């Protein structure tokens, strides 16, 4: 029995995402090579790891006939890592582009992420299968996974599957780790005489995969709009009841892009930006004091309510907390829990003693399989509420009523219907990946830029993945943090003093799909960067 669809789902399945003008006729879209690239750092070491693919040129799609005779292509595709709205549109965009290039082209989807190619678990994707996934959220078409394919045995299995399926190309849809794997696999295939081209697609709702032509990863737009709707709803509730502070933790363990964008969308009373905190060397007590002072000042105006946004990774950006964790990890393996605090340095002991008992116990008992503290499990929003309460008690003339509620918006934003922006962005990325493979490019990431312009004016092309890499223990793509000297943060910094005291909340409401003036508007982050 065919599953019944909601009216919105049925409507979205029929939607045709507009494309950049350059991609409207793929048979008259050629690829132009630009400048030679290097890596962001550690050039010599990166080149040793990637002798075949290092230093390749940036490429751009331009108008002009495709060179040579077009033959059918056999392409594989996989989804890797956490979900992000728009992944299915990358696949439908890839499929449609392949069929435009040659009607006999075929697309194979690997199941469960990178392990799917190792274990040879795949399905051929057809127009009939894809009809139920166009413009939908989630990664349920193929499933995803976080298995790291890095051993020689796993890479050899991947090569064998690629050879057996006679793949001309493979598209890997994922974040910085998945695209690093894309570069490794491309190099491995060339080293073993394979002509299969490997192309990456930039995916992560966190927005921390950026670099020049790579303006934003897909899913960021939709996730921020989903979170902003919820924040706006809570702000409206706060100003209605006038008796609660809402501490809202948002996705973004490594960077504060989501928190900054949602702040620009909703105008909370305070938003903590990790990159500013680490730049100024603030500790937890200082952050709590700033929050408490804001609560105190609002109370003086008769306002016992407000909204505070907190990045998921806040703890990891507070220097004294980082130092505390560094000291705790080896001590946890040597001493009983009730003795550990006595072995901390003076500064770390002070940081530890400032924490509420519940968080202290969590730091001592909740560890990963390596025996280290599980930082991501710390309820930062509740920690801050406790710290603010403690600071308010120290203010002798504070007579207000501080009642706080905590929230965490995470999974809510990962698999929603993609916004029209993300639907078109991903559809264009799929088309671009097809063109890169057709053009013989491997170890590249498909990019679409000029995203702050009208969709028709977007530009597309590819960048060598090695240009994004630097060395850690191995070659990695470094996450891009919020630049506190860039226009989005500067604008936020200029406005936040007013937002703290005034009820200047914005209510973005749900994502719109009908009116282009509302549905295709990019994020404030993209718009402010163009100023």
List residues with catalytic annotation: 206
The side-by-side arrangement of strands in the sheet containing 270-271 is: 270-271, 306-311, 245-250, 404-409
Please provide residue 41's backbone torsions phi and psi, each rounded to the nearest 5 degrees.
-165, 170
> Can you read off the two tokens belonging to residue 453?
């312009």
Which of these, 430, 379, 348, 326, lies nearest to 89 by C-alpha position?
Answer: 430
> Can you read off the two tokens belonging to residue 427?
């559809």
Largest interatomic CA distance in the chain: 81
Q: Quick one: DSSP state of residue 478? A: P
Please provide residue 3's backbone torsions phi and psi, each rounded to the nearest 5 degrees.
-65, 135
Question: Using CA atoms, how far apart are residues 473 and 45, in angstroms rounded to an integer?
Answer: 11
Contacts 24+ apart (CB under 8 A), 100-103: 100/26, 100/27, 101/26, 101/27, 101/66, 101/70, 101/73, 101/434, 101/438, 102/70, 102/71, 102/72, 102/73
Could you tell me the sign of the dihedral formed by the alpha carbons of 360, 365, 366, 370, in that order? Answer: positive
Which helix (DSSP H) or strand (DSSP E) does residue 60 occupy?
Answer: strand 57-63
Q: At what angle do helices 87-101 and 420-438 cross, to 10 degrees?
A: 40
> Can you read off the two tokens belonging to residue 223?
């996730």
> Can you read off the two tokens belonging to residue 221?
């737009």
Percent helix / strand / coil, the chain, rounded to 5: 45, 15, 40
> Can you read off the two tokens belonging to residue 284?
């937890």
**Measured in Å, how far apart are the chain's first and last C-alpha atoms?**
53
């Amino acid at each position: 029995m065919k599953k019944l669809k909601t009216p919105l789902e049925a409507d979205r399945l029929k939607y045709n995402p507009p494309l950049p003008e350059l991609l409207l006729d793929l048979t008259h879209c050629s690829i132009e090579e630009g400048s030679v690239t290097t890596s962001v750092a550690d050039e010599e070491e990166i080149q040793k790891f990637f002798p075949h693919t290092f230093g390749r040129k940036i490429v751009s799609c331009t108008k002009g006939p495709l060179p040579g005779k077009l033959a059918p292509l056999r392409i594989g595709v996989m989804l890797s890592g956490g979900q992000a709205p728009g992944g299915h549109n990358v696949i439908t965009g890839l499929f449609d582009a392949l069929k435009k290039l040659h009607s006999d082209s075929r697309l194979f989807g690997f199941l469960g992420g990178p392990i799917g190619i190792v274990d040879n678990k795949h399905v051929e994707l057809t127009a009939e299968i894809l009809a139920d996934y166009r413009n939908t959220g989630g990664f349920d078409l193929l499933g995803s996974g976080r298995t790291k394919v890095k051993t020689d045995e796993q890479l050899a299995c991947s090569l064998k599957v690629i050879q057996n399926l006679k793949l001309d190309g493979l598209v890997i849809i994922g974040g910085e780790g998945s695209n690093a794997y894309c570069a490794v696999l491309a190099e491995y295939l060339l080293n073993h005489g394979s002509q299969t081209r490997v192309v990456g697609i930039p995916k992560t709702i966190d927005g921390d995969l950026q670099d020049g032509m790579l303006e934003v990863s897909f899913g960021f737009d939709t996730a921020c709009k989903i979170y902003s709707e919820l924040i706006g709803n809570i702000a409206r509730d706060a100003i209605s009841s006038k008796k609660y502070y809402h501490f809202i933790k948002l996705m973004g363990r490594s960077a504060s892009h989501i928190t900054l964008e949602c702040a620009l969308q909703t105008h909370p009373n305070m938003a903590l930006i990790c990159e500013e905190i680490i730049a100024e060397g603030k500790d937890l007590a200082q952050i709590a004091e700033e929050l408490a002072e804001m609560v105190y000042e609002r109370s003086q105006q008769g306002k016992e309510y407000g909204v505070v946004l907190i990045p998921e990774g806040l703890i990891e950006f507070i220097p004294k907390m980082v130092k505390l964790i560094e000291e705790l990890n080896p001590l946890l393996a040597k001493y009983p829990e009730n003795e550990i605090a006595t072995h901390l340095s003076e500064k770390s002991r002070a940081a530890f003693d400032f924490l509420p008992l519940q968080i202290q116990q969590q730091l001592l008992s909740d560890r990963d399989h390596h025996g280290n503290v599980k930082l991501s499990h710390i309820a930062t929003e509740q920690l801050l509420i406790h710290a603010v309460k403690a600071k308010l008690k120290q203010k002798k003339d504070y007579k207000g009523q501080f009642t706080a509620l905590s929230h965490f918006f995470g999974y809510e934003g990962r698999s929603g219907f993609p916004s029209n922006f993300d639907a078109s962005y991903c559809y264009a990325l799929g088309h671009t990946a097809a063109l890169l493979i057709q053009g013989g490019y491997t170890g590249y990431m498909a990019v679409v830029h000029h995203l702050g312009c009208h969709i028709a004016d977007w530009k597309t092309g590819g960048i060598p993945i090695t240009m994004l890499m630097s060395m850690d223990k191995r070659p990695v793509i470094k996450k891009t943090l919020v630049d506190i000297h860039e226009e989005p943060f500067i604008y936020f910094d200029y406005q936040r003093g007013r937002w703290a005291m005034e009820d200047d909340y914005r209510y973005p409401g749900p994502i719109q799909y009908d009116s282009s003036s509302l549905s295709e508007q990019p994020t404030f982050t993209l718009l402010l960067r163009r100023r």
